Amino acid sequence: SSGINAEWPLRPGCKATEAAVRKAGIAQLYGIAGDTNSTGDEQKKLDVLANELFVNLLKSSYQTCAMVSEENEKMIEVPVAKHGRYIVCFDPLDGSSNIDCLVSIGSIFGIYKRESDGPVSTEDCLLPGNKLVAAGYCVFGTACMMVLSTGNGVNGFTLDPSIGEFILTASNMTIPSKGKIYSTNEGNAQYLDEKLQKYLYDCKFPKAGKPKAARYVGSMVADVHRTICYGGVFMYPANSTAANGKLRLLYECNPMSYIVEQAGGKAVTGRGQERVLDVVPTKLHERCPIFLGSSEDIDVILSYLNE
């Protein structure tokens, strides 16, 4: 069975987070909460609020036995009396550095079915993305949209504020096989592998045809959502200052890679032909380099990297 049962409590979580995001300026939820999260980012007030919403809703759903959140250093265990079959890994509010300037942000989640019996341990959560039973993200932009896959394609649901429900507005979402956009933080170009620098140069100065368009929001949800809609590539590669890039495997790279593959695209690490979904994590907040998007464009990047 799919993880659709565990996805159910995430919907009110996304609705409540959307409401908080819309009210943030008025309710003075902008700014820093005065702490840092498990990966060293400064926690914003909205981050903390979104995390509490997701944790509490998932705990009380009777669907989960454990959770992994970007905001919590250790695995969150659900009381045994409320145990379900699923493990949910999530980033409650991705792109939070963009909160204060009103740029699109979002929530990301991946759902696994627990494979062992007995007390839940951290090892139960260290599963590769190819074992996901469902994944999704919710983008809080000009509209609020939840994009979801349970292993049978990708569907998009837009929140209708007049009735407070998600309505199916984009069924069987597919990513174009080739796109005209590349998306990465080119401010880091000096730290990149020379082969990747050559690829980026050729995007801007192609031997034939028009150059690619550069688009980079800095919120993974917004950048990946645009990539699925319009095609092209999004990347956060390894570089000389970050051997595994910046993005976290369990609750950023895996869910997004799962959705992109379900939409007909590709998601790779840049290490040979390795898929992101085949990486076996060794720790909860492990980072992973990522290149995802249109299949033909990813093949081109791999041809540069594997020269």
Cα 182 to chain centroid, rounded: 18
**3-state SS class at 154:** coil
Which among 7, 94, 261, 297 is annotated as catalytic? 94
Give the containing element (helix H, strand E) for 10. helix 10-23
Number of helical H runs and strand E runs in the chain:
7, 15
272: CB partners within 8 A, 6+ apart? 306
Say which of 7, 18, 71, 297 is annotated catalytic: 71
Residue 160 among the catalytic residues: no
Q: Which of 29, 53, 58, 70 is catalytic?
A: 70
Q: What is the dihedral of CA 150, 284, 67, 254, to 10 degrees?
A: -10
| Closest C-alpha among 278, 224, 275 to residue 91 | 224
Kindly name the residue from 18, 91, 261, 297 that is annotated as catalytic: 91
Of 252, 277, 284, 305, which residue is the catalytic one?
Answer: 252
- CA pair distance 166, 147, nearest whole angstrom: 10
SS3 assignment, position 68: strand
Q: ∠225-226-231 over CA atoms, to 5°?
A: 110
Annotated active-site residue in 29, 57, 58, 93: 93
71 annotated active-site: yes
Ramachandran bin of 206, using left for φ above 0, alpha for ψ from -120 to 50, beta for the remaining angles? beta
Closest CA to 225 of 136, 159, 153: 136
Nearest to 120 by CA among 70, 71, 59, 37: 59
Our answer to whether residue 278 is catalytic in this structure is no
Contact in structure between 199 and 211 (CB atoms under 8 Å): no
What's the gap between Cα 204 and its chain centre?
Answer: 27
Task: Please indicate whether residue 41 is annotated as part of the active site.
Answer: yes
Q: 47, 223, 261, 297: which one is catalytic?
A: 47
Q: Which residues are catalytic?
A: 41, 47, 70-71, 91, 93-94, 252
